Chain A
Amino acid sequence: MSVNKLSIASIKSIPAAFGEVDIIKSITLLPGVSSGGEGATGFNVRGGAADQNLILLDEAIIFNSGHLLGFFSVFNPDAIKNIHLYKGGIPSKYGGRAAAVLNIHQKDGNSNKFSAQGGIGLISSRLLIEGPLEEQKGSFLLSGRSSYVHLFLPLAGVDNSIAYFYDLNTKFTYKVNENNNIYISGYFGRDVFDIDNLFDVRYGNSVANFRWNHLFSKKLFSNLSLIYSNYDYTLDFGLANFDWNLGINNFNLKYDFKHYLKNKLSLEYGLNSIYYKFDPGLINPTNETSGIQTKKLTDKFAFENALYGSVKFQLNPKINVQVGARFSSFLRLGQEFNEYKNDNPLIYYSDLKIYESAKAIKTIDYDIEEVIKSFYNLEPRISISYQLRSDQSVKMSYNRMVQYLHLISNTNSPTPIDVWAPSGRFIEPQLLDQFALGYFKDFKNSSYSLEIEGFYKDIQNRLDYIDGAELIANNAIEQVLLNGHARAKGIEVLMKKSKGKLTGWIAYTLSKSEQKTLGRTPEEVGINNGDWYLTPHDKTHDLSITTSYQISEKWALNTNLIYQTGQPITYPNAQYEFSGFSIPNYASRNSSRLPAYHRFDISAVYSPQKENKSFASGQWVFGIYNLYNRQNAASIRFQNNSDTGLNEAVRLSIFGIIPSITYNFKF
């Protein structure tokens, strides 16, 4: 239960903005999954934040899933085999995040013959080549994608600026013998922006995985993986004459076993060890006139280890059970640490109702070998399925998950320059407890299926930020943080038709996602007066209707209808004149909403039949995104109009109607 699988074929049939097939945007059409809006990086699962999703590409952790600031995802659809999204009942082999797991597998190369495929679109073009290695014992796959949208910027009156992305995917497989297989895969992606030499940013993920798959016997399989993953970025502020380089690296060892003991009884167990280096950056002047002096922010190091096991068995012919646990630990290693009076990095002034950072009384430089703070957690997981009839079942699950890394961000949706912070002396790990209950039914020989699931989740230690917290280049982030609490609940309905000329699904979610940060003592107000407030990713109603209709052998028609309650935001409830400015005074946090988000997309796919002797085949995709040109609000700003002197609300909408055309080929 709580698992969604999408084949790359069905993802490719979903109409997309600019015709750019997008894995992340397509999973937001599933129940319980939403996005922060057009141009927002990542996705939200069951009221969770984007940083609470574990995104794995061939087992490697992806820290930023967005290209061009989240308008597109970093996953090239040509190179992807399939995706699994775990929203609940998460298997014990996964851990480290407090909402969901998105597991993306790259395709294996074709081990029988050389072939190529690709596509030419409005934003980017793609090319993939694959083929056998050493007499079909192995295969390779190389895939590249690059955007060229910046070439059109001068037409839009934007000169001296670039904005593009590219990525490379690669995979090698090699069958050593019947019992041993080797897989090597890699990904490298970059985004590059330069606005008139004033502001230049480059960022991207790089990952590599070496995997050894071994069969001890017909009943015992193992997978040993050595994984490296990195996310880094460089900012160059031409205006202020300084640049800043930072990143997060990790080395990951996984050893997983799958053991079939007897019919309907199997075990999965293994271990996982990740070493992290967080490099918050080096700030450098770029010329002699810069007022900035070189400053290195303190590197942070941590070890995250886990042992896990689970057993799957049949209690009786109607009841199947999977029960397991993950024992995780997080060891924060030595670095330079601040010491504070009374161990308190954040002082509260009750008379003014404000938090202010405390001054460190001294700093202590610990050796990297020393463990400064350690956390140990047991994460039980259980899923039970009860077969009511052959076509009906009821399922329930409980899972605890622990998240030791936190994305430091106080914007409504994450940006590429947000940094990750490890748990430590002042930051507790996030603890999720999630319960889910579902009813599943197939109709008409599995042509139709209905899934209804309810969930409740509770997250301890969700970070929140004091008013005016400075998060950028902050070397003592503990001085602006408070530990809060989050909770979410909802009902998801998925009605699917998977056979026939017309296929598709209707997904509806009714949910609520809130958080609360109390003061640490009765005198403190906490955040938002210690009251519950809606998270920026709360969506009361979320409806998606996705259809695909095969008109003929050559033509298919795909549509998408989306309706979502507007994102919670904070409106002003007063204004005042102060020092020449008109200042808004705000109501309680996230107590208003953007207008509802909705749109209708359509695409037609024309696949001329491959001639018998033809070497290649092609496909045209004609799309219209946001057919009725709804001006959906990505944000609303409140400002004083300098011409009229009056206050006004200004809506920013990103994508209006967008026609697109893409040509895909294969040979």
Chain B
Amino acid sequence: MKKTLFVLIGVFIFSSCEAPIEVEVDDSEPLLVIEAQINWIKETRKTEQKVVLSISSSYFSNTFKPAIGAEVNIVDGDENRYVFSETIESPGHYIPLDTIPYVLNQELHLNITYKDQKYTGSENLIPVSTIDSVKQKSVFFFKKERTQFNAYCMDPKNERNFTFFEFKGEPLEALECKVYSDDFSDGFIYDGFIFGKNIKVNDEIRFRQYGLSKRGYHYWKLLIEQNIQGSGGGAFQIPVNLNGNIKNLSPSNAYPLGYFRASEVSELYYLVK
């Protein structure tokens, strides 16, 4: 991110310009993409449990290819097996027949069989700090007004904590995410912040914070950084592929893409003042 700022400085100072260009890219073998999420929202005790399977496609193509007909289940630490079934309305979306219970730090094993390949990944249901409050204030970027929203939380002392902030709502142009680690704030108040423009009173923003494992933190951090920075030359980092926490048990080089995340979630709906 800091290096992106350096690129921006260069853009500001000189007559540099950006323009879309046509380039030819190669196509790789299609890979299975696994987006598995078990979310337990601590404030409402509601849960979101789903596994979305798809197939990677050519970079410039505009198609989402669901992976249909897979066998999906999650086994908890007590050997309870939760079988998922594919929804009729959304091919490639799988939901559990029975709800996986809200047991913090419990290890969960994801198992998928798709086209004779067996995939597995593990994650604990990671606890998270509560979003205690949200504050808003006006800030100016190059004389243009923006509204900054900070979501404040308290970091638990003497333990490593990693989280993932998600900001969603009308005043924001798109879903925005940030990761947090307590490297420089162990045991203190910390915040996740976002900027909105053209906001109106009573607009609603949903703040969420997900608990992450250390591996999850690195995965999401890289995902967000690369999504913002893109790849290239110059002061950009050399881009890398995102290796998640799911492996292919079959004798194959076809490593799956995606991540299995199990998180406690703190959620706060904020009405813009």
Whether B233 and A634, one on each chain, are in contact in the complex, defined by CB atoms closer than 8 angstroms, is yes
Does B200 sit within 8 A of A, measured CB to CB?
no
Residues of B within 8 A of A641 (CB): 20
Size category, A interface: 35 or more
In the complex with contacts A163-B12, A292-B184, A635-B233, A647-B223 CB distance below 8 A: no
Whether B9 and A569, one on each chain, are in contact in the complex, defined by CB atoms closer than 8 angstroms, is no
CA distance A577 to B214 in the complex (A): 23
Whether A411 and B238, one on each chain, are in contact in the complex, defined by CB atoms closer than 8 angstroms, is yes
A578 vs chain B, min Cβ distance (A) = 5
Q: Which of A391-433 contact B (CB under 8 A)?
A: 410-413, 415-417
Whether A580 and B175, one on each chain, are in contact in the complex, defined by CB atoms closer than 8 angstroms, is yes
Whether B23 and A571, one on each chain, are in contact in the complex, defined by CB atoms closer than 8 angstroms, is yes
B20 vs chain A, min Cβ distance (A) = 5
CA distance A134 to B30 in the complex (A): 80
Smallest CB-CB A-B distances: 3 pairs: A637-B230, A635-B232, A467-B240
Residue of B nearest to A150 (CB): B13
Whether A590 and B238, one on each chain, are in contact in the complex, defined by CB atoms closer than 8 angstroms, is yes
Whether B230 and A149, one on each chain, are in contact in the complex, defined by CB atoms closer than 8 angstroms, is no
Q: Which of A282-316 contact B (CB under 8 A)?
A: 283, 291-293, 295
B263 vs chain A, min Cβ distance (A) = 12
A519 vs chain B, min Cβ distance (A) = 14
Residues of A within 8 A of B61 (CB): 575
Contact count A vs B, C-beta below 8 Å: 270
Instruction: Pick from B51-59, B82-90, B99-107 the stretch touching chain A.
Output: B51-59
CA distance A271 to B3 in the complex (A): 39
List 7 additional contacts besides A353-B255, A650-B21; criterion CB under 8 Å: A159-B142, A292-B185, A353-B243, A411-B235, A413-B233, A581-B227, A586-B231
Instruction: Pick from B109-117, B125-133, B186-194 the stretch touching chain A.
Output: B186-194
Please tell me which one of the listed residues A71, A149, A573, A577 contacts residue B25 in the complex, with CB atoms under 8 A apart: A573
In the complex with contacts A153-B13, A569-B233, A587-B26, A415-B35 CB distance below 8 A: no
Residues of B within 8 A of A461 (CB): none
B264 vs chain A, min Cβ distance (A) = 17
In the complex with contacts A195-B9, A574-B27, A589-B238 CB distance below 8 A: yes
Whether A536 and B185, one on each chain, are in contact in the complex, defined by CB atoms closer than 8 angstroms, is no
Q: Which of A125-174 contact B (CB under 8 A)?
A: 149-150, 153, 156-161, 163
In the complex with contacts A291-B190, A585-B241, A652-B7, A37-B22 CB distance below 8 A: no
Whether B12 and A158, one on each chain, are in contact in the complex, defined by CB atoms closer than 8 angstroms, is yes
Does A450 sit within 8 A of B, measured CB to CB?
no
In the complex with contacts A160-B142, A196-B142, A585-B31, A536-B12 CB distance below 8 A: no
Whether B59 and A577, one on each chain, are in contact in the complex, defined by CB atoms closer than 8 angstroms, is no
Whether B227 and A583, one on each chain, are in contact in the complex, defined by CB atoms closer than 8 angstroms, is yes
Residues of B within 8 A of A589 (CB): 238
30 contacts between A and B (CB under 8 A): A69-B6, A71-B10, A71-B13, A149-B13, A159-B143, A196-B140, A196-B141, A291-B190, A292-B185, A354-B243, A410-B238, A411-B237, A412-B236, A536-B238, A569-B232, A573-B25, A574-B59, A576-B56, A577-B64, A578-B223, A583-B223, A586-B231, A589-B238, A631-B17, A631-B19, A633-B233, A634-B234, A637-B230, A642-B173, A654-B14
Residues of A within 8 A of B18 (CB): 637, 650-653
CA distance A242 to B188 in the complex (A): 15
Whether A351 and B247, one on each chain, are in contact in the complex, defined by CB atoms closer than 8 angstroms, is yes
Residues of B within 8 A of A363 (CB): none
CA distance A594 to B37 in the complex (A): 38
Residues of A within 8 A of B258 (CB): 576, 578
Residue of B nearest to A417 (CB): B2
Q: Give a binary string over B172-189; 1 marks a CB under 8 Å from any A CB, 0 the rest.
A: 011100000001111011
Please tell me which one of the listed residues B8, B16, B26, B226 contacts residue A573 in the complex, with CB atoms under 8 A apart: B26
Whether A579 and B14, one on each chain, are in contact in the complex, defined by CB atoms closer than 8 angstroms, is no
A289 vs chain B, min Cβ distance (A) = 8
Size category, B interface: 35 or more
Whether A642 and B59, one on each chain, are in contact in the complex, defined by CB atoms closer than 8 angstroms, is no
Does A655 sit within 8 A of B, measured CB to CB?
yes
Does A193 sit within 8 A of B, measured CB to CB?
yes
CA distance A159 to B141 in the complex (A): 9
Does B158 sit within 8 A of A, measured CB to CB?
no
Q: Give a binary string over B26-43; 1 marks a CB under 8 Å from any A CB, 0 the rest.
A: 111011010101000000
Does B81 sit within 8 A of A, measured CB to CB?
no
Whether B174 and A637, one on each chain, are in contact in the complex, defined by CB atoms closer than 8 angstroms, is no
Does B222 sit within 8 A of A, measured CB to CB?
yes
B186 vs chain A, min Cβ distance (A) = 7
Q: Which of B220-266 contact A (CB under 8 A)?
A: 221-223, 226-227, 229-247, 255, 257-259
In the complex with contacts A637-B232, A654-B14, A646-B60 CB distance below 8 A: yes
A35 vs chain B, min Cβ distance (A) = 11
Does B62 sit within 8 A of A, measured CB to CB?
yes
Q: Which of A545-603 contact B (CB under 8 A)?
A: 567, 569-581, 583-587, 589-590, 592, 594
Q: Which of A613-667 contact B (CB under 8 A)?
A: 631, 633-639, 641-642, 645-656, 658
CA distance A71 to B15 in the complex (A): 12
Does A40 sit within 8 A of B, measured CB to CB?
yes
